[in-house]
Homo-oligomer: A and B are copies of this chain.
Amino acid sequence: MNAPRLRARKLDIRNGHVDLSHGAGGRAMAQLIGEIFAENFANDLLAQGNDQAVFSVPPGRLAMTTDGYVVSPLFFPGGDIGSLAVHGTVNDLAMAGARPLHLSASFILEEGFPLADLQTIAQSMGAAAREAGVKIVTGDTKVVERGKADGVFISTAGIGVVPDGLDLSGDKARPGDVILVSGTIGDHGVAIMSSRENLAFETQILSDSAALNGLVADMVAACGPHLKLLRDPTRGGIAATLNEIAHQSKIGLRIEEDALPVKAEVAAACEFLGLDPLNVANEGKLLAFVAPEAAQDLLRVMRAHPLGKESAIIGACVEDPHHFVQMRTAFGGGRIVDWLSGEQLPRIC
């Protein structure tokens, strides 16, 4: 008797579509996982082929994080949902000062989604993971009926190792600490909005989506003991992130509008779209809070890294029982930088 499973045709990636059988735990699912995910994520741990990966970790504390990705459109200038799902989770680990090790990936696919697009996304995830030095070691695939999802949603989780002696946390900033940003703000959000609204600006605005673990490793090596906290200003932009930190650390923050790096084309697009760059998401930037005596050193180290060339000191922490974030504007006035309560940019990540 011949084993019929040995004669299975390869997936028709060019013309095929996801169907419910690809989430059913049977042969079709095994084939999808084998030909698309295992192929593009190739590593020894994923190849164990079990429902979990088992591995040794270096001694030290671990960081663990997760994010769901529902960005629309799935493909945008400067990236796609696949690279974003790797960068975002790597960055959440890096913000603890951790060296990212391994990721998991959970896919929720809509029936009818083109296999060619899924292949592109998986390739992009694999490339982003290799570039960031992490492995996608375990995963899961579910399929829901047409109209019950929107193409593909991805949830990645990650673990990393935190170096001994480093204890970064949102509650660690103190009055006097200096605030730095690693580059221009608002690029990701504006790239998504332009692509969603089909806007053509003179220059194409690219998402800044990138893995920041290399930059963070340099920062930790140079200024580790002086670093108080790192955070990547994603959804809600630097306005939301600064407010979160002011609350967690129970301090006020003062920033300088003039010091904020914003690309001219992003500023123009924000004006056109009625957005404030402070509220717009970034996916390859970080805010660093550092003891004042190390601020210049940190700035130098950050600017020496390809992803931190446009780093800038943007403000400092102060005593403030109200935990306000205030900005001195370019015109010399002042204003409160508040969180937005509602939704400015849905499905930005």
Q: Which of B27, B52, B68 sits near A341, CB closer than 8 Å?
A: B27
- Among B19, B23, B153, point to the contact of A153 (Cβ < 8 A): B153
Taking a contact as CB atoms under 8 Å apart, the answer to whether A153 and B108 are in contact is yes
Contact between chains at A24 and B235 (CB < 8 Å) = yes
Contact B66 A105 (CB under 8 A): yes
A48 at the interface (CB under 8 A from B): yes
Say whether B26 contacts A339, CB under 8 Å.
Answer: yes
| A24: contacting residue among B55, B93, B340, CB under 8 A | B340
Q: Is the CB of B49 within 8 A of A171?
A: yes
Name A83-124 residues within 8 Å CB distance of B.
92-93, 95-96, 98, 102, 104-108
Given known A3-B322, A235-B25, contact A51–B95 (CB-CB < 8 A):
yes
**Bound CA span A52–B95, Å:** 8
Closest to A247 in B: B5
In the assembled complex, A28 has its CB within 8 A of some CB on chain B: yes
Asked whether, in the complex, the Cβ of B150 is within 8 Å of the Cβ of A68, the reply is no
From known contacts A150-B144, A157-B66, infer whether A52 and B21 are also in contact, taking CB-CB under 8 Å: no
Residue of B nearest to A70 (CB): B142
Annotate A23-38 by CB proximity to B: 1 below 8 A, 0 otherwise.
Answer: 1111111100000000
Alpha-carbon separation in the docked complex, A305 to B335 (Å): 64
Indicate which residue in B1, B143, B281 contacts A346 across the interface (CB closer than 8 Å): B143
Q: Is A217 an interface residue (CB 8 A)?
A: no
Number of A residues near B (Cβ < 8 Å) is 92
Q: Contact partner of A240 among B26, B137, B142, B232, CB < 8 A?
A: B26
Min CB distance A341 to B, Å, is 5
Instruction: Point out which of A105, A171, A324, A342 has the most chain B C-beta atoms below 10 A from its C-beta.
Output: A342
B138 and A65 form a contact (CB under 8 A): yes
The reply to whether B137 and A169 contact each other, CB–CB distance below 8 Å, is no
Instruction: Report the bound CA distance from A59 to B58 in whole Å.
Output: 9
- Which residues in chain A, 57-76, are within 8 Å of chain B measured between CB atoms? 57, 59, 61-70
Given contacts A68-B107, A138-B64, A281-B25, contact A322 B1 (CB under 8 A): yes
In the bound assembly, the distance between CA atoms of A176 and B253 in angstroms comes to 69
Shortest C-beta distance, A219 to chain B (Å), equals 17
Chain B residues within an 8 Å CB radius of A70:
108, 142, 144
Instruction: Tell me the nearest residue of chain B to A239, going by C-beta.
Output: B26
Contact (Cβ within 8 A) A51 B281? no
Q: How far is the CA of A148 from the CA of B145 in the complex (A)?
A: 11
Closest 6 CB pairs between A and B?
Answer: A25-B235, A25-B236, A157-B157, A155-B155, A66-B104, A52-B65
Please report A residues at the B interface, Cβ cutoff 8 Å.
Answer: 1, 3-5, 19-21, 23-30, 48-57, 59, 61-70, 92-93, 95-96, 98, 102, 104-108, 137-145, 147-150, 153, 155, 157, 159, 162, 169-171, 231-232, 234-237, 240, 244, 248, 281, 322-324, 338-347, 349
